[in-house]
């Protein structure tokens, strides 16, 4: 299992027929966090005509949007559509519009809000979150070389290495590969390694 989200806030902007569109994106995990982000953008842009938004949450499979005064279906839906096409979740986007005096029409608004959202998405750093196990391996120094040779086969993400009387290595491995990795290390070490495992965590494998 995996899902795609972003590391942190980002933004992008452009001007269309004298109207400025500013896309803002941020990672959120709850309705409360999404509303807080939306309100923070609104407070930053009090003089803007519209602050259209959409967000998608993994927990509860929630998606919400608002046209914020634009004609129905010309703001929030296009923003949500971009997020869905990009496969993003646990994200919120607000596209701010400073009206320039020239009407864009329904099709123009859809394209503008879609583009504002896409600019924010493109500016963000993508994070691929995978269900995984956190594994701690304790071994002697003579086995450490074999360990470092083997683990890349399992696409692990290293967390830490500690060199004391023994070597202690902490790593993340995707859940479906965890048992195979443990079996391989135990076999190679003739059962001398000590392995502790914490299951069902989410870690970034981007």
Please identify, among 104, 124, 144, the residue that sits at the C-terminal boundary of a domain: 124
Please identify, among 124, 157, 190, the residue that sits at the C-terminal boundary of a domain: 124
Residue 72 CA to residue 108 CA, distance in Å, equals: 13
Same-domain check for residues 119 and 197: no
Which residue range is the domain that position 162 belongs to? 130-204
CATH of the domain at 89: 3.30.230.30
Same-domain check for residues 110 and 24: yes
Same-domain check for residues 66 and 28: yes
Same-domain check for residues 58 and 82: yes
Please identify, among 124, 158, 178, the residue that sits at the C-terminal boundary of a domain: 124
| Integer angstrom CA distances of residue 198 from 133, 140, 172, 185 | 6, 22, 10, 17
If one counts the domains in the chain, the total is 2
> What are the tens digits of pLDDT across the range 100-113?
888 888 889 999 99
pLDDT averaged over every residue in the chain:
93
- pLDDT classification of 205: cutoffs 50, 70, 90: confident
Global confidence as pTM? 0.80
CATH of the domain at 136: 3.30.70.240
Same-domain check for residues 102 and 156: no
Q: What's the burial of 38, exposed, middle or buried (CB within 10 Å: 0-12/13-18/19+)?
A: buried
Same-domain check for residues 69 and 54: yes
């Amino acid at each position: 299992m995996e899902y795609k989200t972003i590391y942190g806030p980002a933004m992008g902007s452009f001007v269309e027929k004298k109207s400025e569109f500013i896309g803002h994106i941020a990672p959120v995990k709850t309705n409360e966090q999404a509303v807080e982000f939306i309100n923070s953008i609104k407070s930053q842009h009090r003089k803007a005509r519209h602050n259209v938004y959409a967000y998608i949450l993994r927990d509860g499979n929630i998606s919400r949007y608002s046209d914020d005064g634009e004609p129905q279906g010309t703001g929030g839906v296009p923003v949500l559509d971009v997020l869905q096409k990009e496969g993003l979740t646990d994200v919120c986007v607000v596209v701010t519009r400073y009206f320039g005096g020239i009407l864009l029409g329904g099709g123009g608004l859809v394209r503008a809000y879609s583009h504002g959202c896409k600019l924010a998405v493109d500016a963000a750093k993508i994070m691929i979150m995978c269900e995984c196990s956190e594994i701690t391996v304790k071994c002697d120094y003579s086995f450490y070389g074999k360990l470092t040779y083997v683990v890349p086969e399992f696409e692990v993400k290293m967390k830490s290495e500690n060199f004391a009387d023994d070597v202690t290595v902490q790593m993340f491995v995707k859940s479906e590969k965890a048992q195979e990795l443990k079996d391989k290390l135990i076999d190679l070490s003739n059962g001398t390694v000590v392995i502790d495992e914490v299951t069902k965590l989410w870690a970034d494998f981007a």
